[in-house]
Structure 1
């Protein structure tokens, strides 16, 4: 599985011959100024919630790719009103078998509003299962006990987790979250983009190492294989 990082919480995964993009926030992100958005043509765009720093590039990427937008009913309905009609609505606890694998929408503790201030539904995370392996994309969230339910149902190979604190959980809570979902490998997200969420990279990695876990902090534009 190849993973490409486009900054903030935006990753593209190549899964079973399909490209899946999460929470596109690229053009407004000064740290991602070297990313050419015109080259990003996914098959799916998964959106965890409606905040601007997770949806700003959805329309542009949709227009050039016709990617299917997957999110909560409220989020996809808002995009449908903007003329983006290749959508798949979900809600918490629901599961769907896509052509690349199965996805379950899970709880996140955060807030959600669309760029125009309209209601964005409840924030969410996703658990993907592909050919017997599972990973967790937490979205923007605080640490919460529902994460333990994920470990009861899935064997999580790795997880994408926010670590910037202030708006989401920070590094210490992300270590606990990794325990809750029972994974030893975390890819950090939602950090450094704004002054409020800048982190000490060495300290963050050290906290994970002390807990016998690995924190991966990808460079923007970097590809890795897991």
Structure 2
């Protein structure tokens, strides 16, 4: 599977011919200035919570692509008032989409929309499709609930975890999370965008290697074959 990293926590990938975009935050990210929002395809847009650094470009992309939103019930209702459609889900729920199954799992964070509206509970997702199973954690602290994932889902091929600390778990907690979810291949996200979440990539890589884990730290615009 090819996964393209568009900066911060934004990823785009294709399953069964459908393009899934996650947490689009591009035009206001100085590290993503080479990415053209007007060229990003999307059939579905997953919004893990309501913070602007995860949905700032969602509306413009929705208008252009007519993509379906997958988010919390509260966030979907907020977008419905703007004329958009999709699936407003909640923690523990799952649904079989065209691209495969998607389960909503716990994230420990906060969620408020740009106008101050309540964004519901933040979440992560486990997606299973085309013989791949993977976890996108969203913004989260380390939580014991992660231990449930290998109990209720197929074994994970890889996981996308925040590692920048300050607003989410840092890389040391992310290494523990990798063991909780029983997954050795980790793609890091939510790092370097802002001063408080800048990391030393060499330190992170060495730490994960010492924990017998594999960490991918993609450059903005890079595509990973995993």
Aligned to 2:210: 210
Displacement of 1:83 after TM fit?
A: 2.1
1-side partners of 2:124 and 2:130: how far apart? 20
Aligned to 2:164: 164
2-side partners of 1:205 and 1:115: how far apart? 35
Query: TM-score, normalized by length of structure 2?
Result: 0.98
- Deviation by residue 1:179-220 (Cα, 9 ceiling, x = unmatched): 000000000000000001000000001110001111100111
Aligned to 2:144: 145
Aligned to 2:132: 133
Aligned to 2:178: 178
Structure 2 matches for 1:40-189, cutoff 5 A? 40-84=40-84, 86-154=85-153, 155-189=155-189
1-side partners of 2:130 and 2:152: how far apart? 16
1-side partners of 2:67 and 2:140: how far apart? 25
2-side partners of 1:122 and 1:153: how far apart? 20
3-state SS of paired residue (1:156): coil
- 5+ residue gaps, structure 1: none
Displacement of 1:109 after TM fit?
A: 0.2
2-side partners of 1:4 and 1:170: how far apart? 22
2-side partners of 1:183 and 1:92: how far apart? 21
2-side partners of 1:108 and 1:96: how far apart? 18
- 5+ residue gaps, structure 2: none
| 1:2–1:15 contact (8 Å) kept in structure 2 | no
Count residues with an aligned counterpart: 225
Displacement of 1:131 after TM fit?
A: 3.4
Displacement of 1:15 after TM fit?
A: 1.1
| 2:102–2:128 contact (8 Å) kept in structure 1 | yes
1-side partners of 2:148 and 2:130: how far apart? 21
Q: CA RMSD in A?
A: 0.7
